[in-house]
Every structure is written in C-alpha cells, then in structure tokens.
Amino acid sequence: MSSQPRTLQILNFVSGLLLAAAAWMSLGYAPTERVMGAVQRVFYFHVATAWVGMLGFIVAAVAGVIFLVTGNLKWDKIGLAAVEISLAFFFIAIVLGSIWARPIWGTWWTWEPRLTTAAILEMVYLAYLLLRQGVEDPERRARFGAVYTLLGGISVPVTFVSIRLFRTIHPVVIMGGNPNAQGGFSMETSMLQTMLFCIFAFSVIFVTLFWHRLRLGDLAEKVEQLKLKLIQ
Amino acid sequence: MDNKRPSSSYFQAVLAVAWKDLAAELRSRELLSAMLVFALLVILIFNFSLELDKEARENVTAGVLWTTFAFAGTLGLNRSMAVEKDRGCLDGLLLAPVDRSAIYFGKAISNLAFMLLVEIIVLPVYSILYTSVSTMRLFTPAFLGVTLLGSIGYVAVGTLLASMAVQSRTRDVMLPILLFPVIVPVLVASVQASRAILQALEMSEVMAWVNLLIVYDVIFIALAFMVFDYVVEE
C-alpha cells in the first residue's frame, strides 16, 4: 500500500507522454482550420475531456447499480472516484467550449441543449457530493449516493431530450449535420487522427487518475480506522 | 418480501399511510397553511421583480405558476418527511409488516394531495390578481391535466429525495439542492405545455410535452418503487 505499484508508475509516465503528444498534435500537427483559424484547435481537447467526463458518469451510474445489488462498499468507492474525476473533466470541457464559442458564436455561453444539459449534469453531481458530505454512516452514505447517481443518470438524458425540443445551434461534427448549427466544419484526415489520438490519450489519463483516486480512497479509509482505534 | 400477502392489504396499507397524513393535516392545518401563504408570497414577489404588466403576463404566466408550485412543493415535501423523522414515526412505519414501497406510495399520495390543494387555491387567486384573456384558460381541462401530470412527476421524485434529505445532517437545505437538478424535465415540459395552452396554440404542440411528462412520470415512479427500500433501510 505504501508505494505505488509498478504498473501505476508506468501509467504515470505514459500519461505524461500522451498528454504532451496530444498537445503537440492539436497545436502543431493538425492543420489550421480555414474559416475559424487557430481557435478551432481547442476542439480536440474539448471533445476528449467531454468524452472522459461522460465516461466517468456512466461508470458512476453502473457502479451505483452494482452497489445496490451486491452491497459491496468497494463499488461505492469506484462510483465516488468516477464522479469526482468526471466533474473536473466536464468542467474543463465546458471552459474550453466557452473559449471556442466566444469568437465563433459571439458569446461565452448560450442556453442551448448540450450546454444546458452539461450545466445541469454538473449540478447533479455537485448535489451528489453535498449529499455525501451530509451523511456520516458510510453504509447509508453509499446507499444514498448510489440511488442519487441512478436518478441523475436517468434524468440527465431525459433533460437533454426535453431541451432538444427547442432549436439547437451546437455544431455536430461527428454524426450527421444540423442546418442551423454555427461553426461546423468537415474534418481532414489529420484532424480526425488528432481527435482520435486526444480521445485515446485522455482515456489513458482517466484510467491513471482513477487508479490514484481509488488508492486515495483506500488510504483515507485506513486513516479513518486508525483514528477510531486511537479513540477506543 | 418473501411471504406474499394478498394485494388488497397492500392497497389498504397505501391508503392507511395516506389517510394518516391527511387526517393529521385536517386537524392541524400546519402544512397546508404554510405552503399556501408561501405560494402567495412567491407570486407577490414575482409581481415586483418581473413587473407583471399586461404584455409580460401573456408570456410568463406559466413560468411564474410553475416556479411557485415548485418552491411551495419543496416546503411541503420537507415538512411531511421531517415530521415522520422527528417524532420517530418513520421507525414505527418501517416496523409495520407491510412492503416498504407501500409507505412510499402512501406518502406520495398525501404529498400529491397537498400540492394539488395548493394549486387549486393558487390558480383562481392568480387569475383574479392578473385578469387577462389567457388566464381564463387556467381552468380548461387541458391545463388542469398538465398541472396534474407535472405534479405527479414532481411528487414522485420529491417524496423519494425528501426521505433521503431528512436523514442527512444538512436536511433543511438538502432537498431543493437534490431535487431541482433532476426535476428539470418536468419543469421544462410543464411550463412549455402550460404556455402553449394559455396562448391557445395547436394541440399538437401541447401533446409533445404531455408525452414527455407521461414518460417521465412512468419512469420515475417505477424507479422510486424499486429503490425506496434502500433509502429507508436501517
């Protein structure tokens, strides 16, 4: 427990390399987009961080269900770790999106379905963390957390559909097109390569952070137990 | 849950829990009067903050009403669960030899009754304070139907989350924080459907939102039914 396992040490190193390579690919390798110019390069990290954010929330919802079925507290730790990491990555995705939107849409923020849903998603998981803070019994905290991630996991897609019934201006680059979208573009091969590489790099970074967060959870639990022993 | 009881006793249990709340409320009138006064105050505040003149009213009536219902609703949900917790009633209820989901449905029915009562009183008051062509449509079956569907969804999720919130340390502030992010679809759909009805738009515009409300209600009642056990487990 005291020192990091060998695989994790390697992962640390690989994650650093991948991050540097992803930065080089999106800033240097990919061509400058003709209409939008340099600001379009934000897109690669935006998509990759948003992907990691979604991945974590799906992991959290699945871990919640497994916890409710099995009652094994290990799944609660997995859920919490996933939510915390995703919260950070989703926030980065929103900030990067804003940086891109300012010159392209002419505004930092607009109440468009994806943006609104992203904001609500962040609120759901902030509420999740607040709820956990307010419950002391670990077993009950885990149950409440699992129930709430489940509720959130189902309500967020419904929220997206409900807001989608309005008009949307978010460009859909990957699947199909939307005639009302502003700032869409078609990707060259090297752009596609860069995007896929960034997604891959951030997925590896996610795994590394996830592992660290799980270790942190175990250590925190150990400290908790040692404290209890001291009191007794 | 192993020994199957006849289904009639399940419904009796649901009704007994709901009736217990309604009877207690009939005697004290604590909850309803608080919800009502609060709802009227919210409308009053909207009057000052939004300057509800004739044109503004046409556009924001649905939003004002649903915001009022949502705020007054949290007050009621919080209170109805806090009472159970404070006086140890919840433990008593949990000891009863009935399926625990019966407790959930009983509480949900009484919460829904309180919410509908508040809405029934707020709607005429609103239409008197802000008379216009559109407020005359507040009492059409379509509008009342949308109000009912929206309230069902709100209460279905609210009852579940209120029983979690009262068991947490920061219980008074917890419920709105937990409830509002997951209730967004209900509010969006209810407001849009209500607005379409008030502006006398075509029925097809209303139906898209009504369908969404029905889907939400069904999904979340089923979900609450499945997970309520985990929320009250000791």
Q: What is the 3-state secondary structure (H, E, C) of chain A?
A: CCCCCHHHHHHHHHHHHHHHHHHHHHHHHCCCECCCEHHHHHHHHHHHHHHHHHHHHHHHHHHHHHHHHHCCHHHHHHHHHHHHHHHHHHHHHHHHHHHHHHHHCCCCCCCCHHHHHHHHHHHHHHHHHHHHHCCCCHHHHHHHHHHHHHHHHHHHHHHHHHHHCCCCCCCCCCCCCCCCCCCCCCCCHHHHHHHHHHHHHHHHHHHHHHHHHHHHHHHHHHHHHHHHHHHC
Residue A47 lies in a domain: yes
A125 lies in which domain range?
A: 39-172+186-231
A154 CB near a chain B CB, below 8 Å? yes
Residue A10 lies in a domain: no
Residue B1 lies in a domain: no
pLDDT at B1: 45
What would the pLDDT profile of B76-109 be if each residue is shown by its tens digit? 898 888 888 887 888 888 888 888 888 899 999 9
Closest partner residue to B188 among A150, A154, A162, by Cβ? A162
pLDDT at B5: 54
Test A134 with B168 for CB contact under 8 angstroms: yes
Taking each helix axis as running N to C, give the angle between helix A113-133 and helix B171-198, from 0 to 180 degrees, rounded to the nearest 10: 160
Task: For residue B11, give the 3-state DSSP assignment.
Answer: helix
**Which among A68, A90, A137, A148 is the top mutation candidate for probing chain B, defined by the most B β-carbons within 10 Å of its own β-carbon?**
A148
Task: For residue B90, give the 3-state DSSP assignment.
Answer: helix
Instruction: Compute the average pLDDT of residues B144-162.
Output: 94
Residue B4 lies in a domain: no
Residue A208 lies in a domain: yes
Residue A11 lies in a domain: no
Query: Which chain B residues are Cβ-neighbours of A148 within 8 angstroms?
Result: 161, 164, 178
Test B223 with A151 for CB contact under 8 angstroms: yes
A126 contact partners, CB below 8 Å, separation of at least 6: A87
Residue B149 lies in a domain: yes
Residue B83 lies in a domain: yes
Residue B3 lies in a domain: no
Closest partner residue to B185 among A130, A147, A162, by Cβ? A162
What would the pLDDT profile of A118-172 be if each residue is shown by its tens digit? 888 899 999 999 999 888 888 889 999 999 999 998 888 888 887 777 555 556 6
Test B212 with A163 for CB contact under 8 angstroms: no
Could you tell me how far CA B80 lies from the centroid of its own chain?
12
pLDDT at B177: 92
- Per-residue pLDDT band at B112 (split at 50, 70, 90): very high
Test B212 with A158 for CB contact under 8 angstroms: yes
Test B209 with A151 for CB contact under 8 angstroms: no
Whether the Cβ atoms of residue A11 and residue A210 lie closer than 8 Å to each other: no
Test A159 with B185 for CB contact under 8 angstroms: yes
- A residues 165-184 near B, CB within 8 Å? 165
B60 contact partners, CB below 8 Å, separation of at least 6: B50, B52
Residue A16 lies in a domain: no
The total number of structural domains that make up chain B: 1
Residue A200 lies in a domain: yes
Whole-angstrom distance, CA of residue B151 vs CA of residue B24: 22
User: Is residue B6 scored above 80 in pLDDT?
Assistant: no
User: Is residue B155 scored above 90 in pLDDT?
Assistant: yes
Instruction: Tell me the sheet residues that pair with A37.
Output: A33
**Which among A76, A126, A151 is the top mutation candidate for probing chain B, defined by the most B β-carbons within 10 Å of its own β-carbon?**
A151
Q: Which residue has the higher pLDDT, B7 or B33?
A: B33
What would the pLDDT profile of A16-30 be if each residue is shown by its tens digit? 988 888 888 888 777
Residue A177 lies in a domain: no
Residue B2 lies in a domain: no
Whole-angstrom distance, CA of residue B158 vs CA of residue B73: 8
Test B178 with A140 for CB contact under 8 angstroms: no
Instruction: Compute the average pLDDT of residues B48-70.
Output: 82
Test B168 with A124 for CB contact under 8 angstroms: no
ipTM: 0.87
B14 lies in which domain range?
A: 9-232
Nearest chain B CA: its distance from A185 CA (Å): 31
Burial class (CB in 10 A: 0-12, 13-18, 19+), B232: middle
Whole-angstrom distance, CA of residue B226 vs CA of residue B234: 17
Test A155 with B167 for CB contact under 8 angstroms: no
The total number of structural domains that make up chain A: 1
